[in-house]
Structure 1
Amino acid sequence: MKNIICILFLMVGISLSAQNVAVKTNLLYDVSTTINLGAEIGLSPKWTLDLSANYNGWTFSENKKWKHWLLQPEARYWFCERFNGHFLGAHLLGGVYNVSNWDTDFTLLGTDFGKLKGHRYEGWLAGVGIGYGYHWILARHWSIEAEIGVGYIYTRADKYECPRCGEQLEDNKPHHYVGPTKAAINLIYVF
């Protein structure tokens, strides 16, 4: 039995050492003050698994906040070879947020972002989407990629009267969102 376990660990170690691994940061999230880090591992010549984690814990002037943490795993199929050229992805996303006092007077695909002004929303979200992207090799280890994704998000949030305090106006209200679920310009280091 010990020999079988040793052989299995050896086989897993050999297969992992032969795979490419990349670490990345989404420059669009960096600009929005969201700390983020991603990792991608090759599963086969044309398949990879990507996982990104994002965190924004800041409160801005006038108690504006877009606080959140978000996880977004994605399976990718590469048309040529992994970490090079065009790819399609299927992603999940989930997280928790606390948003208040943003003056964004626009509606996108049935979601009225103007409701953020003068209120605070605390809740969670879960969703699914598909994405398309392209990966450019810059140097031996450095790359950049762009990706856009669309999908569906289900969210539940408590709504509060004002951005700082106030009584709760709505309890655990559900919302369905269809639209963009991913936008990325990633700076990548491939091992």
Structure 2
Amino acid sequence: MLVVKTNVTELATTTLNAGVEIFSEGRFSVSLPVSYNPWTFNDNKKIKHLAFQPEFRIWFGETFRGSFINVQSFIGLQLHYLYYNTGGINIPFGMFPDPKNTRYQGQGTGGGVTYANQFGLGERWRGEIGTTLVFSYLWYDSYECKTCGAFKGAGTRRYLGPGKSSLSIIYLSVSYALY
């Protein structure tokens, strides 16, 4: 089975995103989400990025079995790669040294562990709530935060902490009642 989904929490940050998930007959699936944010806001504030976050999921019980209102849980092992250009926004959890006053442009890679629950919303619709603990290695150039700001230096950063939180809407490619 194939599903299509979008993460509403990312949409709330003006980040465009979509994903597909491919299910096996048993307890496994592979999720392939992509997110993209091309916007620059007032005062050169931005969280521009392009991110790929494939995830291998292990479900507690068979996928999509039972009534459509049941809640199903899974753990996932995620990898990620991103290109980013961010600045002027207070990014939490100490990901960057001075995110409010500095613009960071670079790349990152890493992995994480997800725990989430899916629940039925109808015959072809589901919801998903989850969170990911990630380790990321980031490398970047830093600039003064204003437009075309002066180069401040290059650096790397290791980050361990909260990653993507999700509240997703999922569309099933086949009728759940028939699966």
TM exceeding 0.5: yes
Give the CA RMSD over aligned residues: 1.5
How far did residue 167 of structure 1 move? 2.2
- Which residue number corresponds to residue 189 of structure 1? 171
Residues 136 and 145 in structure 1, CA contact (< 8 A), matched pair in contact too: yes
Structure 1: unaligned runs, 5 residues or longer: 1-19
Indicate conservation of the 8 Å contact 2:95/2:159, yes or no.
no
Higher relative contact order (CA 8 A, sep 6+): 2
Per-residue CA distance 1:26-55 (angstroms, 9 max, x = gap) = 000011100000100013410000010000
Cα separation, 2, equivalents of 1:66 and 1:55:
10
How do 1:163-174 and structure 2 match up within 5 A? 163-171=146-154, 173-174=155-156
Letter in 1 for 2:35: N
Question: The residue matched to 2:158 in structure 1 has which SS?
Answer: strand
Q: CA deviation at 1:161?
A: 2.2
Structure-1 residue corresponding to 2:68: none
Aligned partner letter, 1:63: N
Q: How many residues align?
A: 167
Deviation at 1:114, TM superposition (A): 6.4
Moved over 3 A (4+): none
TM-score, length basis structure 2: 0.88
Q: 3-state SS of the aligned residue for 2:43?
A: helix
Superposed displacement of residue 118, structure 1: 2.4
Higher CA-based Rg? 1
2:88 counterpart residue number? 101
**Identical pairs, percent:** 35
Matched, 1:76 2:57: yes
Alpha-carbon distance in structure 1 between the residues aligned to 2:44 and 2:160:
28
